[in-house]
Amino acid sequence: MKEITKSTLLDSLKDPTSRQKAFTSLVSLYKSRVYGVVRKMVIDHDDADDVVQEVFIKLWKEIDRYRGDSELFTWIYRIASNEALQFLRKKKRRMLFSGDYREVLAQHLDNAVGMDGDEIQLKLQKAILTLPDKQRLIFNFKYYEELKYEEIAAITGTSVGGLKASYHHAVKKIENYLVK
């Protein structure tokens, strides 16, 4: 992934006089990617909207803590991943006695804008939903975002070996679901 404006953007983010303007650029640059990562995890658009806004609010609050020792997108994706996983944990907990939250996510898939009656895509999404949340996150980063294992490792704090094993296992599980 290109970090074309990284150094200037970072300098501007660190400077209180230009911070607001730089942050507006950051939102504009990353909103689609952050939405994509979050939406694939929480599935429902309204939930994704809430989480995406939380991600950027957190980024704003934590700008001073970002030291520039990792890529900017790594830091952003890390916060987006954590917020999405945290949202799912809360959702799971709220639904502890009322049903399986994965079934609810699957129902959102059935009604999702953009599916356009594409049965195989819907089946693929449902197959991905059978994965545990963190494995689903890893799968999405590798398959959809086409990130390198090293990049995913920096985002998730998991070893490259562990990520490879997780991804290949995820692909197997998905393919098993597809032939059902």
Partner 1 sequence: MKREDHISKLSEIPKKDVLNPPAGYMDSLDERILAKIDGQGQSTGKGFVWYGAVAAAVALIFSLSMLLKEGEMASPEELLAEVSDTDIAHYLEYSDLSVYEIMDELGTLEIETEESVLPELDLSDEELEMIMNKYDISG
Nearer to partner 1, 88 or 153 (CB): 88
Q: How many CB atoms lie within 10 A of CB 112?
A: 16
With beta carbons less than 8 A apart as the criterion, state whether 149 and 158 touch. no
Q: ∠ CA(167), CA(37), CA(83), 5° rounding?
A: 100
Which of 152, 166, 159, 154 is CA-nearest to residue 37? 152
Q: Which residues bind partner 1 (CB under 8 A)?
A: 23-24, 27-28, 31-32, 35-36, 39-40, 43, 45, 48-49, 52-53, 56-57, 60, 82, 86, 89-90, 93-94, 96, 112-116, 118-122, 124-125, 143-144, 171, 174-175, 178-179
Closest CA to 90 of 50, 122, 31: 50
Distance of closest approach, residue 7 Cβ to partner 1, in angstroms: 22
For partner 1, the closer of residues 43 and 154 by Cβ is: 43
> In whole angstroms, how close is the CB of 56 to partner 1 at the nearest point?
5
Q: Which residue lies nearer to partner 1 by CB, 14 or 134?
A: 134
Burial class of 45 by CB neighbour count within 10 A (0 to 12, 13 to 18, 19+) = middle
- Check residue 5 and report its DSSP letter: T
Vertex 33: Cα angle to 27 and 38 (nearest 5): 105
Are residues 112 and 105 in contact, defined by beta-carbon separation less than 8 angstroms?
Answer: no
Nearer to partner 1 among residue 72 and residue 174 (C-beta): 174
Q: Minimum distance from CB of 2 to partner 1 (Å)?
A: 19
Q: Based on CB atoms, which residue is closest to partner 1, 48 or 80?
A: 48
Minimum distance from residue 4 beta carbon to partner 1 (Å): 19
Minimum CB–partner distance for residue 179 and partner 1 (Å): 5
